[in-house]
Amino acid sequence: MTRLGILLSGRGSNFEAIADHVAAGDLEAEIAVVISNRSEAPGLEAARRRGLPAVAIPSKGLDREVYDRMAIEELRRCGVGLVCLAGFMRLLSATFVRAFPNRILNIHPSLLPSFPGLDAQHQALEHGVRVSGCTVHFVDEYLDAGPILAQAPVPVLDTDTVETLAARILKEEHRIYSEALRIVIGGNYRIEGRRVILG
């Protein structure tokens, strides 16, 4: 059983979707720990309600390296083999990335490489694209930049606000994050350059 470590900063709706898939038995994994850098993150409370280990490691005032070493230690203590960022609003240090090589996933609400960084849905609306979407990728030291595991397109409507577009994309996020997890857990892939080749 692959032991998942979830990192989140907010409500963690992608964490909840993963937890639902695990509970339904269609992901061969268990959630070993949920960590948040914000003690008041609703995602921590959601984890506790599900009876999952939930740990706050506040990041405020801490040097990135120091913080990341604390997070790595907690993940190792819980025997985590695969780290899932689910709305974790921090860039990981090289130390963190090297501690879990090609074992950290992130989800981003755009079709990368378009609109990396904050407020991707707002960026998409401002740019006037007719198609946006979401991306699950391996995490490297750069922002929203590692090899891509899964993407889903989502139409952008003339009537969209950031909220309606974000909601439409979120639905696909919940679907493809578990799809990507299934690929990584299954192990039937290889990374060639930036490409993830399945099968």
> Under the rule (CB under 8 A), what is the footprint of its own copies?
111-115, 125-131, 133, 147-153, 158, 193-199
Closest approach of its own copies to the CB of residue 184, in Å = 14
Q: Are 145 and 162 in contact (CB under 8 A)?
A: no
Nearer to its own copies, 81 or 147 (CB): 147
Options 21, 108, 137, 174, the catalytic residue = 108
Choose between 117 and 153: whose C-beta lies nearer to its own copies.
153
Using a 10 angstrom Cβ sphere, with 0-12 exposed, 13-18 middle and 19 or more buried, the burial of residue 50 is middle
Q: How far is the CB of 147 from its own copies (least distance, A)?
A: 6
* Tokens, residue 78: 């819980």
Rounded to the nearest whole angstrom, what is the least distance from the CB of residue 34 to its own copies in the complex?
Answer: 27
Structure tokens at 56: 């706050």
Min dist. Cβ of residue 196 to its own copies (A): 6
Nearest CB to its own copies, comparing residues 62 and 129: 129
CA–CA distance from 22 to each of 14, 96, 118, 152 (Å)? 12, 25, 29, 21
21 a catalytic residue: no
Joined together, the tokens standing for residue 190 give: 């290889």
CA distance 190 to 73: 28
Pick the closer one to its own copies by CB: 76 or 194.
194
Q: Give me the half-sphere count of Cα atoms (radius 13 Å) on the Cβ side of residue 72.
A: 17
Q: What residues are annotated to the active site?
A: 108
